[in-house]
């Protein structure tokens, strides 16, 4: 059996459990082990496809078409490996499997109960994910003490009892520093450890998240009150770049502590490329100003960036590759609808991205921004919805098809963007889940295009998440006026990449290249975009 490391969070959510898990993965990989990671989301939702991005953050998509939590994106970026559907668990998924098994008489007439059958299913899934791997990291979403993730902790407890030498438990605790007192407080984390104890578990290692480094005084205190050796209490202060986290953990010798506890020895020590990348990120000083035009970041008085996390990371990977420091600004699409005069301000950006999205809110504002980029020759990258709107803009303003639109927004329009006939049948039956193009699809690139200059190859595959497609009936009209359809899905003859002639960089794609960008392998399209800006 592979070794299993559970990572859970204490005190509160949003303290970076995902990045911590991914970083532990990177460290173990650098020591010569085969690593994979599992995300557990304690929701009833079967996948993240039905969750609102403002509430839940970005929906990440895997090669095999699973819509999941953004942390899976972090695992892929840090591990530089694909993570598949089998590595994602929600409460809904686990219950669904158990209920299906019960219906199929797989429990052979026994009484099927929450305990042990639900945790057993969790254990089955962890074991399956660990096949041919040395390590499986299992991130348990939520915070210890919540009712929601109890059954997952129960699975961890059962596993630890069965395989004591193969299981490790890591708790990520938060240590607040109160402004008026000016001291880092350990008590909430002490309580989190106690809560975990009451579930029959004890952390082997404690990651102490705080705004600053954990000093020896507090390390000792935590050690005494939490019953954890101070060598196993790892300082995890806020740092500028998430990619520095593995390096930081290694300062406290985290990798070797883990290996020692599991009776293993490092096979090598190779964080060289990673360190080089982090150093390059830190030394880039020349700024590039890039705007993302979206709508999923305003919630009350707060502005969240999580909805576009993969796009942001992809911009960073490509910018740092060229020794540039990206300055990313959020602009709300709706503001251009209310006040078109604002458009002039877009000139201060060196590049503009219109990312993916659903629904009518903000659409006209995005179309205005795209027109401005096209006419003012501002480097532009359109992603998914960004491609659909680029085509609508071109059809309306260049080809003079004024009513051009997508049937997603208006049923009675000239349907430049539409659903395929076979999807219409499914939608009638309300089978929405089956009407999305999800996961990896092939694309053949025209060798004379700008896209080819970026990819430097003809056959590629990219990840999708959308329901609507470009309507090929309008292809000739658009081509005549200068739109280039430079990437086509060969199986279904679907438009995948478009570009515009006589523009320094105007590329829009039906897929989501951001999901495949990695810090050590920036994505070719983002590289092309940044290079054009340069
Ligand atoms: N709403 C569009 C569609 O479903 C685009 C989706 C997206 O941008 N991910 O086709």
CA of 299 to the centre of ligand 1 (A): 21
Q: Which atom of ligand 1 is nearest to the CA of 385?
A: 8
Question: Contact at 8 Å (CB) between 158 and 123?
Answer: yes
Half-sphere exposure in the Cβ direction for 69 (13 Å, CA): 25
In this structure, the residue with its CA closest to atom 1 of ligand 1 is 358
Determine whether 443 is an active site residue: no
CA pair distance 238, 288, nearest whole angstrom: 24
Q: Which atom of ligand 1 is nearest to the CA of 356?
A: 8
Determine whether 384 is an active site residue: yes
pLDDT score, position 14: 84
- Packing angle between helix 17-30 and helix 70-79, nearest 10 degrees? 20
CA of 466 to the centre of ligand 1 (A): 4
Say which of 68, 226, 373, 384 is annotated catalytic: 384
Determine whether 512 is an active site residue: yes
DSSP states of 337-390 as a string?
Answer: HH-GGGGGGGGG-SEEEE----SSTTHHHHHHHHHHHHHTT--EEEETHHHHHH
Residue in 190, 162, 196 with CA at minimum distance from that of residue 174: 190
CA pair distance 153, 168, nearest whole angstrom: 13
CA pair distance 75, 70, nearest whole angstrom: 9
CA pair distance 375, 71, nearest whole angstrom: 38
- Domain 3-276, architecture per CATH: 3-Layer(aba) Sandwich (3.40)
CA pair distance 238, 15, nearest whole angstrom: 10
pLDDT score, position 124: 96
Backbone angles phi, psi at 370, to 5 degrees: -60, -45
* Angle ∠(497,84,20) on CA atoms, nearest 5: 105
Half-sphere exposure in the Cβ direction for 231 (13 Å, CA): 7
pLDDT score, position 304: 64
Is residue 137 reached through a cis peptide bond, with omega within 30 degrees of 0 on the bond before it? no
Contact residues of ligand 1, CB 6 A cut-off:
356-358, 384-385, 408, 465-468
**3-state SS, residue 265:** coil
Token duo for residue 230: 């101070």
- DSSP class of residue 510 equals S
What topology does CATH give the domain 284-533?
Answer: Rossmann fold (3.40.50)
CA pair distance 133, 24, nearest whole angstrom: 15
Question: Contact at 8 Å (CB) between 110 and 349?
Answer: no
CA pair distance 225, 209, nearest whole angstrom: 17
Backbone angles phi, psi at 339, to 5 degrees: -140, 85
CA of 510 to the centre of ligand 1 (A): 8
Domain ranges of the chain: 3-276, 284-533
pLDDT score, position 342: 87
Q: Do domains 3-276 and 284-533 have the same CATH topology?
A: yes
* Angle ∠(468,469,471) on CA atoms, nearest 5: 125
| Model pTM score | 0.94
pLDDT score, position 297: 61
pLDDT score, position 524: 98
Token duo for residue 252: 């406290």
**3-state SS, residue 261:** helix
Beta bridge partners of 143: none
Q: Which atom of ligand 1 is nearest to the CA of 383?
A: 8
Instruction: Look at strands 205-210 and 233-237 and give their pairing.
Output: parallel
CA pair distance 361, 295, nearest whole angstrom: 8
Question: Contact at 8 Å (CB) between 68 and 39?
Answer: yes
pLDDT score, position 189: 96
Say which of 117, 464, 466, 512 is annotated catalytic: 512
CA of 359 to the centre of ligand 1 (A): 8
CA pair distance 334, 327, nearest whole angstrom: 22
Mean pLDDT by groups of 10 residues along the chain of 534 residues: 96 91 98 97 88 79 94 97 95 96 94 96 96 97 92 96 96 93 93 96 96 94 96 94 95 95 95 95 93 74 74 96 94 85 92 93 94 97 98 98 95 93 76 81 97 98 96 97 97 96 96 98 98 94
CA pair distance 325, 339, nearest whole angstrom: 30
């Amino acid at each position: 059996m592979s070794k299993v490391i559970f990572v859970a969070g204490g005190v509160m959510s949003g303290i970076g459990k995902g990045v911590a898990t991914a970083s532990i993965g990177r460290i173990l990989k650098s020591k010569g082990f085969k690593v994979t990671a599992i995300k557990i989301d304690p929701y009833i939702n079967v996948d993240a496809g039905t969750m609102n991005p403002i509430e839940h953050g970005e929906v990440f998509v895997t090669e095999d078409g699973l819509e999941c939590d953004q942390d899976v994106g972090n695992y892929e970026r840090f591990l530089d490996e694909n993570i598949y559907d089998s590595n994602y668990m929600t409460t809904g998924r686990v219950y669904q499997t158990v209920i299906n098994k019960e219906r199929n008489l797989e429990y052979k007439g026994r009484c099927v109960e929450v305990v042990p059958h639900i945790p057993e299913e969790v254990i089955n899934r962890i074991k399956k994910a660990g096949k041919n791997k040395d390590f499986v990291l299992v991130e348990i979403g939520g915070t210890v003490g919540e009712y929601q993730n109890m059954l997952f902790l129960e699975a961890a407890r059962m596993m630890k009892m069965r395989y004591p030498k193969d299981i490790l438990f890591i708790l990520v605790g938060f240590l607040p520093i109160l402004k008026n007192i000016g001291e880092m407080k350990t008590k909430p984390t002490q309580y989190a450890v106690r809560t975990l104890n009451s579930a029959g578990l004890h952390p082997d290692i404690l990651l102490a998240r705080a705004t600053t480094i954990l000093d020896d005084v507090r390390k000792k205190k935590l050690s005494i009150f939490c019953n954890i050796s101070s060598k196993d209490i790892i300082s995890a202060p806020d740092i500028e770049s998430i990619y520095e986290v593995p390096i930081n953990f290694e300062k406290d010798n985290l990798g070797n502590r883990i290996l020692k506890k599991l009776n293993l020895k490092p096979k090598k020590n190779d964080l060289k490329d990673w360190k080089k990348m982090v150093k390059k990120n830190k030394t880039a000083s020349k700024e590039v100003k890039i705007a993302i035009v979206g709508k999923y970041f305003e919630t009350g008085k707060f502005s969240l960036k999580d909805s576009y996390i993969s796009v942001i990371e992809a911009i960073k990977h490509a910018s740092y590759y060229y020794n540039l420091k990206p300055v990313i600004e959020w602009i709300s699409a709706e503001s251009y609808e209310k006040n078109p005069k604002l458009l002039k301000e877009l000139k201060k950006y060196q590049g503009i991205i219109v990312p993916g999205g659903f629904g009518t809110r903000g659409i006209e504002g995005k179309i205005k921004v795209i027109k401005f980029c096209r006419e003012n020759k501002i480097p532009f990258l359109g992603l998914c919805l960004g491609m659909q709107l680029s085509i609508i803009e071109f059809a309306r303003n260049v080809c003079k098809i004024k009513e051009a639109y997508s049937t997603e927004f208006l049923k009675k329009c000239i349907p430049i963007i539409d659903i395929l006939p076979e999807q219409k049948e499914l939608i009638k039956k309300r089978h929405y889940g089956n009407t999305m193009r999800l996961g990896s699809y092939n694309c053949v690139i025209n060798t004379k295009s700008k896209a080819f200059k970026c990819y430097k190859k003809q056959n590629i595959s990219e990840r999708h998440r959308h329901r609507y497609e470009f309507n090929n009936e309008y292809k000739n009209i658009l081509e005549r006026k200068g739109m280039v359809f430079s990437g086509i899905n060969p199986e279904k003859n679907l438009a995948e990449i478009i570009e515009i002639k006589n523009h320094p960089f105007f590329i829009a794609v039906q897929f989501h290249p951001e999901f495949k960008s990695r810090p050590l392998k920036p994505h070719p399209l983002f590289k092309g975009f940044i290079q054009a800006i340069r």
